[in-house]
Amino acid sequence: MRQKLFPSVDAAVADVPDGARIMFGGFGGAGFPNNLIHALARTGTRNITAISNNCGTRDGELGLMFKNGLISHVIASFPGPHANYFQERFAAKEVTLELVPQGILCERMRAAAAGILGFYTTVGVGTEVAAGKEERVIDNQHCILESPIRADYAFIKAQRADELGNLTYRLAARNFNPIMAMAARTTIVEVEEIVPVGSIDPEHVVTPAIFVHRIVQAKGIRYAG
Amino acid sequence: MPDKPRLSREEIAARAAKELPDGSYVNLGWGIPNLIADYLPAGLTVFFHSENGILGMGRRARAGEEDYDLVDAMKVPVTLAPGASFFHQADAHLMSRGGHLDVAVLGGFQVSEKGDLANWKVPGARGSGGIGGAMDIAAGAKVLIVCMEHTTKDGAPKIVKTCTYPLTALACVDTIVTDLAVIDVRAEGLLLRETAPGWTKKEIQELTGAPLL
């Protein structure tokens, strides 16, 4: 049987190539795969497309990737007031940005996960978000066509994994992680604890093991505030 | 502009809190709306929703109580009310977009007489800007209340015939609570429902960029 456990965060990200599309979980300082991000930065892999709610908090979260110039395109809903390294690269035109409403970002990833090739929504009608998108009227409501967002990898954070990759999360650190886990071709999870198969109650599993490909235990780096 | 006292940000929040039905599920946006939780009328029970996957969010965490896995949409550590639940971000927005929340309260830069809302980007501002959850919540809320000052710092009306700032959503606002008035957006126009103490309809009309009914 294929072994999903990796000995280190560096081993878990070693094969990520230049130009990869990567989803990064996390919101509001909670649930970011900070140890995987540090490991990826150590590889020096460049020209990354990052799909994430925000673009870092100073050096924290994706901040390090922008500081080191490793990301060239971002799909995000809210880059954030403290994403200074992103803002510098964006102003210098070294990074391009697609801004997406937060819930539509979720649904576009979920569409990719679910094999849905597009959906119509009223969100963004009449705004900058609608530019270049097909518009139509359904049930007397104007709506726009949104397309799936796919990725080569998802880097996610969970609290606990069993050795098969069934995951549970802690409090609001769940956020984008379960959606991204389902949407990427290869999902890499960093967890605080790995437990034997059978020790997570099947009724408590949030992300089923089918969506998880690599598991690594990592001591959480936290960036409060 | 008449030099009379206006409601403070806290007083706007307290006035908006009175619009919330007992037992309702409510999302509070950035700015003045975020103050509403501290000004709920006695005896009113409201369940607060946070876009990062919390229903039943409690008060802000006190010093020593903070858990950085439990934050609100503004990254502030919070607590849980009894009966709270967690879910992922897609389900959080499903609740707002799918009409499951009873009320959303957002801040605003401009509201038009048709109820269009502009609240995410100031024209000409530096940097990338950011949408966050505002467009999903504005487009999907069953009832949308906007809390804002009635005029800009320079005295220009923020309630206008047509928004000139980048739009968040079209025809989405139901009620506007400002430091001068409570206004309902109706098909026939903007209905002035209430004036701040000491203010007349004529004075408020002069500071409003669209006709008041």
Mean pLDDT, chain A, whole residue set: 96
**Positive or negative torsion for Cα B77, B78, B80, B84:** negative
How many other C-beta atoms are found inside a 10 Å radius of the C-beta of residue A131? 8
pLDDT band at B2 (very low <50, low <70, confident <90, very high): confident
Show Cβ contacts of residue B64 under 8 Å, excluding neighbours closer than 6 positions.
none
Q: Which residues pair with A114 in a beta bridge?
A: none
Q: Does B64 touch chain A (CB under 8 A)?
A: no
Which of chain A's residues have a Cβ under 8 Å away from the Cβ of B168?
127
Q: What is the pLDDT of residue A225?
A: 41
Asked if residues B114 and B170 have their Cβ atoms less than 8 Å apart, the reply is yes
Q: What is the pLDDT of residue A222?
A: 58
CB contact under 8 A, B90 and A107: yes
Which of chain A's residues have a Cβ under 8 Å away from the Cβ of B115?
none
Asked whether residue A104 carries a pLDDT value surpassing 80, the answer given is yes
CB contact under 8 A, B88 and A121: no
How far is it, in rounded angstroms, from Cα A7 to Cα A114? 31
**Positive or negative torsion for Cα A174, A180, A183, A185:** negative
Q: What is the pLDDT of residues A214-225, one digit of tens each?
A: 999 997 665 544
Asked if residues B169 and B129 have their Cβ atoms less than 8 Å apart, the reply is no
CB contact under 8 A, A77 and B170: no
Asked whether residue B172 carries a pLDDT value surpassing 50, the answer given is yes
Residue A140 lies in a domain: no
Q: Which of B159, B132, B161 is nearest to B74 (CA)?
A: B132
Q: What is the pLDDT of residue A2?
A: 73
Q: Which helix (H) or strand (E) holds B103?
A: strand B103-107
Mean pLDDT, chain B, whole residue set: 95
- Per the structure, the count of domains in chain B is 1
The whole model's pTM is what? Answer: 0.96
Residue B1 lies in a domain: no
Residue B186 lies in a domain: yes
Q: What is the pLDDT of residue A125?
A: 97
Asked whether residue B209 carries a pLDDT value surpassing 90, the answer given is yes
3-state secondary structure of B190: strand
Residue B41 lies in a domain: yes
Closest-CA residue of A relative to B118 is A127
- What integer is the mean pLDDT of B1-6? 84
Smallest Cβ–Cβ distance between A102 and the set B51, B126, B127 belongs to B51
Q: What is the pLDDT of residue B3?
A: 82
Q: What is the pLDDT of residues A51-89, one digit of tens each?
A: 999 999 999 999 999 999 999 999 999 999 899 999 999
Q: Percent of chain A at pLDDT above 90? A: 95
Q: What is the pLDDT of residue B124?
A: 85
CB contact under 8 A, A28 and B52: yes
* Residue A37, domain CATH: 3.40.1080.10
Asked if residues B168 and B120 have their Cβ atoms less than 8 Å apart, the reply is yes
Q: Percent of chain B at pLDDT above 90? A: 90
Asked whether residue B8 carries a pLDDT value surpassing 50, the answer given is yes
Q: What is the pLDDT of residues B49-69, one digit of tens each?
A: 999 999 999 999 999 999 999
Q: What is the pLDDT of residues A138-180, one digit of tens each?
A: 999 999 999 999 999 999 999 999 999 999 999 999 999 999 9
Closest-CA residue of B relative to A91 is B127
Q: What is the DSSP secondary-structure string of chain A?
A: ----B-S-HHHHHTTPPTT-EEEE--BTTBS--HHHHHHHHHHT--SEEEE-S---BTTBTTHHHHHTT-EEEEEES---TT-HHHHHHHHTTSSEEEE--HHHHHHHHHHHHHT---EEESTTTTSGGGTTS-EEEETTEEEEEE----EEEEEEEEEEEETT--EE--GGG-TTHHHHHHHEEEEEEEEEEEE-TT-S-GGG-SB-GGG--EEEE-PPP----
pLDDT band at B125 (very low <50, low <70, confident <90, very high): confident
CB contact under 8 A, B89 and A121: no
Residue A85 lies in a domain: yes
* Residue B42, domain CATH: 3.40.1080.10
Token reading at B140? 């999907």
Type of residue numbered A32: F
- What integer is the mean pLDDT of B194-201? 97
CA distance B161 to chain A (A): 16
The CA-to-CA distance between both ends of chain B, in Å, stands at 21
- Per the structure, the count of domains in chain A is 1
Which of chain B's residues have a Cβ under 8 Å away from the Cβ of A77?
130-133
What is the span of the domain harbouring residue B79?
9-206
Q: What is the pLDDT of residue A224?
A: 44
Strand A151-162 versus strand A167-168 pairing type: antiparallel
Q: What is the pLDDT of residue A219?
A: 75
B51 belongs to the catalytic site: yes
CA distance B196 to chain A (A): 33
Residue B213 lies in a domain: no
Closest-CA residue of A relative to B52 is A175
CA distance A174 to chain B (A): 6
To test the contact with chain A by mutation, choose from B60, B69, B170 the residue with the greatest count of A C-beta atoms within 10 A, namely: B69
Asked if residues B175 and B145 have their Cβ atoms less than 8 Å apart, the reply is yes
Residue B3 lies in a domain: no
How many other C-beta atoms are found inside a 10 Å radius of the C-beta of residue B39? 15
Q: Percent of chain A at pLDDT above 70? A: 97
What is the span of the domain harbouring residue A196?
9-102+149-217
Interface of B with A in 100-159 (CB under 8 A): 116, 126-136, 139-140
- What integer is the mean pLDDT of B95-111? 96
Considering the candidates B51, B66, B149, B203, report the single residue annotated as catalytic: B51
Residue A181 lies in a domain: yes
Residue A153 lies in a domain: yes
Closest-CA residue of A relative to B126 is A91
Residue B26 lies in a domain: yes
Asked if residues A30 and B68 have their Cβ atoms less than 8 Å apart, the reply is yes
Q: Which of A174, A207, A28, A109 is nearest to B87 (CA)?
A: A174
Residue A121 lies in a domain: no
Asked if residues B109 and B90 have their Cβ atoms less than 8 Å apart, the reply is no
CB contact under 8 A, B139 and A172: no
> What is the ipTM, given to two decimal places?
0.95
Say which residue, B159 or A3, is predicted with more confidence.
B159
Any idea what the Cα angle at residue A220 is, between residues A214 and A221, rounded to 5°?
A: 120
Q: What is the pLDDT of residue B114?
A: 98
- What integer is the mean pLDDT of B69-90? 95
Going by the DSSP 8-state scheme, the letter that residue B137 receives in this structure is H
How far is it, in rounded angstroms, from Cα A81 to Cα B174? 29
Token reading at B96? 């707002």
Show Cβ contacts of residue B136 under 8 Å, excluding neighbours closer than 6 positions.
A101, A102, A103, A104, A123, B51, B93, B96, B97
Residue A139 lies in a domain: no
